[in-house]
Amino acid sequence: MQFIIQRERLVQSVQDVIKAVASRTTIPILTGIKITATTNGVTLTGSDSDTSIESFIPLEEDGNEIVEIIRPGSIVLQARFFNEIVKKLPLDDVEISVENGFQTMIRSGKAEFNLNGLSADEYPHLPQIEEENIITIPTDLLKALIRQTVFAVSTSETRPILTGVNWKIENENIICTATDSHRLALRKAKVQTTSQENYNVVIPGKSLSELSKILDDSQSTVNIVITENQILFKTKHLLFFSRLLEGNYPDTSRLIPNESKTDVIVNTKDFLQSIVRASLLGEGKNNIVKLSTVGDTSVEISSNIPEIGKVVEEVQADIISGEELKISFNAKFMMDALRSLEGTDIKVSFTGAMRPFLIQAQNDDSMLQLILPVRTY
């Protein structure tokens, strides 16, 4: 194998696939990146057996030559070293060639590295997915769906299903739900599908976070293919495979209250900043902050650490209706929820001091956040 490639494109592709490379694994070859050169271009692959990423670099794009293939072939190189080497090479072009056995030379300008490679035949094959039923979604919408839900997944392996985000797709509607049983994030949207098939799958939160980082905003849409145990996200030059989590996702619809006893409409930014300040003296490991209504004009945000001090702040509300309220909650959960919502004003609906409360952008029901209060009063 031998080819010459633009360093910038190589670095970008390595950065993409290395996100899937296993740092600790029982399969040593998965600590490497597979490089395959064909007459069409160069493909890089990284995998940890749960997630696999394949990045393709074509021979040319928009009339500019990117790769010159001298000899097709393939090799697996240690990801950590290969990544650092290509980032620090001196010139814009890089030559990579495999000589006797698996000895691989990487040359740029006067710098020359020799790495011991591994046989690409030993590298596990990526899942073969029939691309019959395709779901098409705009890239910016997909990133929003992930950003507005993935933070609420559980980080505990005691209930593995909750470490993923539940995607339900039917009649060209998608509902994404994440919960760690203390809070819940839900986002609805419209998608395009080529089939009438319905889906109800759970995608690992970690996979979605990595996918979001490497999605290129210049690509307008992403194609998604779902099988029994895999999901594939496909853009022009990128394939992102993830396994699906096994098991049934709990029915969360019954957790969402249909009525409320107290409603508060408040400016999102003002409310968020007061929570941020109160969290500086949040109580205990859950960073507890208290909220109480003051008449029908403002809410009081307060917190205290007995041995340190306390903070009290009033935030002007647009509207407060219903019963008086005192409630306590985890400040981090509230900050995560508020940062995920879009819109200048939010509506917070309370059904009692110990009942889950609902946070939504005003006049937008495509997105909701639910938080379970903490008992302090």
Looking at residue 240, its pLDDT comes to 97
Tokens of 286: 């859950």
- DSSP H or E segment with residue 247: none
Give strand pairing partners of 175: 168, 188
Say if 128 falls within a structural domain.
no
Task: Confirm whether 130 is domain-assigned.
Answer: no
53 and 89 both lie in a single domain: yes
Q: Decide: 370 and 336 in contact? Cβ < 8 Å.
A: no
Q: Which domain does 69 fall in, by range?
A: 2-122
Residue 195, helix vs strand vs coil: coil
- Compute how many other C-beta atoms are within 10 angstroms of the C-beta atom of residue 89: 18
Q: Are residues 271 and 197 in the same domain?
A: no
Domain count of the fold of the chain: 3
184, 219, 253 - which closes a domain: 253
- Considering the domain architecture, whether residues 140 and 162 belong to the same structural domain is answered as yes
pLDDT along the chain (377 residues), means of 10: 97 96 87 97 95 97 95 97 97 95 95 96 89 90 96 94 97 96 96 90 97 86 94 95 96 92 96 96 88 94 93 96 95 96 93 93 92 84
Asked if 337 and 352 sit in the same domain, the reply is yes
Residue 19's pLDDT is what?
Answer: 95
Distance CA 51, CA 159 (A): 20
Answer yes or no: are the C-beta atoms of 182 and 220 closer than 8 Å: no
The pLDDT score that the predictor gives to residue 377 is 54
Tokens of residue 217, six digits: 């905003």
DSSP letters spanning 61-81: ETTEE-EEEEE-EEEEEEHHH
Considering the domain architecture, whether residues 332 and 365 belong to the same structural domain is answered as yes
Residue 329 lies in a domain: yes
Domain end marker among 224, 253, 282: 253
Same domain, 108 and 7: yes
Helix (H) or strand (E) holding 92: none
Domain membership flag for residue 222: yes
- Residues 178 and 68 reside in one and the same domain: no
Question: Domain for residue 321, yes or no?
Answer: yes
Q: Are 74 and 54 in contact (CB under 8 A)?
A: no
The answer on 90 and 114 residing in a single domain is yes
Q: Where a domain ends, among 228, 253, 278? A: 253
Task: Indicate which CATH number applies to the domain containing 171.
Answer: 3.10.150.10
Measured over the CA atoms of residue 122, residue 126, residue 127 and residue 130, the dihedral's sign is negative
Measure the CA–CA gap between 125 and 143, rounded to whole angstroms.
Answer: 28
Residue 235 domain flag: yes
